[in-house]
Amino acid sequence: MIPILKKFERYLRANRGLADHTIRNYLSDSSFLINYLFLQEIDIKNDASQLEVFIHRDIEPSQSKTVQQSHINSEYRSLMRDFVAWLASNKKGSSNALAASSITRCLVAVRSFVRFLIEQGEMPEAPLWAPHSGLMRRFSPKNIRHLPDTLSISEANSLMQISILPNAKSPNSKRSISISIRDKAILEILYGSGLRVSEVVALNMGDINLEQKSIRVKGKGSKVRVVPMGSAAQNSYKHYLSKVREKYQGQTKDNNSVFLNSRGGRLSQRSIHSIVRYRAKAAGINKHVHPHTLRHSFATHLLDGGADLRIVQELLGHSSPVATQVYTHVSKSESRRVYMESHPLARGQK
């Protein structure tokens, strides 16, 4: 990693408390700006001195501070317009093409990156980079918003009615039984409590309180929330503890992790993705099912059942209701589909 990104990484960990995968995305997306500037013969691999000179060019010392600031603001805006145009045109049609949603995500990272440079005293301040400023949205391309994939209630039930499935390495063995018991507990928590896959991976033994029927979750930005744990998830979790996990007590360096792999270590996100895909296929669900599908289904089924949007927002750990409102569209879409398929007059029948 180049020096300036190393400094940015330390800043994100110390000041923002972001998750590891979020930090990786921020670093990756910020590198687009670094590469673009390099093509413009502005090298910021070590520090931002060349970029600062570029932003201050054509400013006369005799000009008033108001005029100088206006010039800086204009240069920043021009830089972002050209950068977005480069992302949209130079990448178009190539193997690493950026979709509109990816450009929008990239700008979020770039905004944090430049904010970091400003706070370090390497770049001048401007309204575009001010905390809580919405000016960056002007440069974001319009997204075609797709509704999230969800399972129907019957599909979710089929997935939860998990059976003992053979393990590739040792079919029909005790290992297959243990893995199936563990997988059922994972699926029940993903769907029953709406957790992100990263949150399930990070669960420690003290986070699940069976007495209070709750799970303490550390979400994005290290925000902590407490979510309820349904009876099905409780039963599956108790079964996993008594029949599977206790075997690893004292056999692993990570005795604190809730969900363990076959070697007694903390289960990875990739493994949980594989588990969900494998179990969905075994349940006969002809969809691309991933852990976030279960989170989407959790929210949609709550709203279908009459839950208040604000409550669903809190359960999901969303900082803004805007992120949760997409599920109201999914709920309406599902209601329309059921109506069109079920009501005789909707199909033109008499």
State the catalytic residues: 196, 220, 292, 295, 318, 327
Residue 151 · residue 289 · CB < 8 Å: yes
User: Distances in Å between the alpha carbon of 164 and those of 175, 259, 268, 273?
Assistant: 10, 18, 21, 18
Residue at 342: amino acid letter = S
Of 148, 196, 168, 97, the closest CA to residue 297 belongs to: 148
Residue 44 · residue 4 · CB < 8 Å: yes
Residue 178 · residue 167 · CB < 8 Å: no
Distance CA 301, CA 151 (A): 9
Could you write out the three-class secondary structure of 309-339? HHHHHHHHCCCCHHHHHHHHHHHHHHHHHHH
Burial, 222: exposed, middle or buried (Cβ in 10 Å; 0-12, 13-18, 19+)?
exposed
Residue 9 · residue 27 · CB < 8 Å: yes
User: Distances in Å between the alpha carbon of 47 and those of 37, 72, 118, 179, 347?
Assistant: 13, 19, 12, 50, 65
Residue at 261: amino acid letter = N
Residues in the chain: 350
Residue at 171: amino acid letter = P
Return all residues near 279 (Cβ < 8 A) that are at least 6 apart.
159, 162, 165, 183, 187
